[in-house]
């Protein structure tokens, strides 16, 4: 009962704040490729990597800043996945690449909070997972 109440409270807080600009800082990047034979993600890269994500209040644009570049993504669709308790976005990067972006910050265990990008290239499916350090909102 308490975990469900906790998740409902967090969802309410996020919903109230979603009218504000959302900021996410991350500290770890992990790269995976889907192993079709084993039916699981296979990690091929991991690095400490401080990055920042900014979502505008209308949920139409995401700005991702790393140590050496800044990318922008147009949000084409956004949905709250109730079953998995996270937000899913279809986005297009400023160079035309398409991704599914998932913001997963509702789990009680904050060590599981992350921002993920999934995409297909050359008959393979890739996942880039950024582990969240902090989430905050600007009031407007």
Cα separation of 80 and 131, whole Å? 20
Domains of the chain, CATH where assigned: 2-138 (2.40.160)
Cα separation of 140 and 132, whole Å? 24
Answer yes or no: is pLDDT of 11 > 90.
no
* pLDDT per residue as tens digits for the range 66-111: 999 999 999 999 999 999 999 999 999 999 999 999 999 988 888 8
Closest CA to 117 of 82, 94, 92, 83: 92
* pLDDT per residue as tens digits for the range 32-61: 999 999 999 999 999 999 999 999 999 999
Answer yes or no: is pLDDT of 1 > 50.
no
pTM of the full structure: 0.83
For the chain, report the end-to-end CA distance as a whole number of angstroms: 34
> Do 53 and 61 touch, CB atoms closer than 8 A?
no
């Amino acid at each position: 009962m308490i975990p469900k109440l906790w998740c409902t409270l967090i969802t309410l807080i996020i919903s109230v704040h979603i009218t504000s600009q959302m900021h996410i800082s991350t500290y770890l990047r992990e790269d995976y490729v889907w192993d079709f034979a084993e039916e699981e993600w296979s990690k091929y890269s991991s690095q400490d990597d401080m990055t920042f994500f900014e979502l505008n209040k209308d949920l139409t644009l995401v700005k991702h800043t790393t140590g050496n570049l800044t990318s922008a993504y147009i949000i084409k669709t956004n949905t709250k996945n109730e079953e998995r308790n996270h937000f899913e976005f279809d986005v297009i990067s400023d160079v035309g690449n398409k991704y599914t972006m998932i913001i997963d910050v509702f789990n009680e265990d904050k060590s599981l909070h992350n921002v993920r990008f999934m995409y297909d290239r050359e008959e393979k499916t890739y996942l880039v997972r950024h582990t969240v350090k902090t989430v905050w909102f600007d009031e407007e």
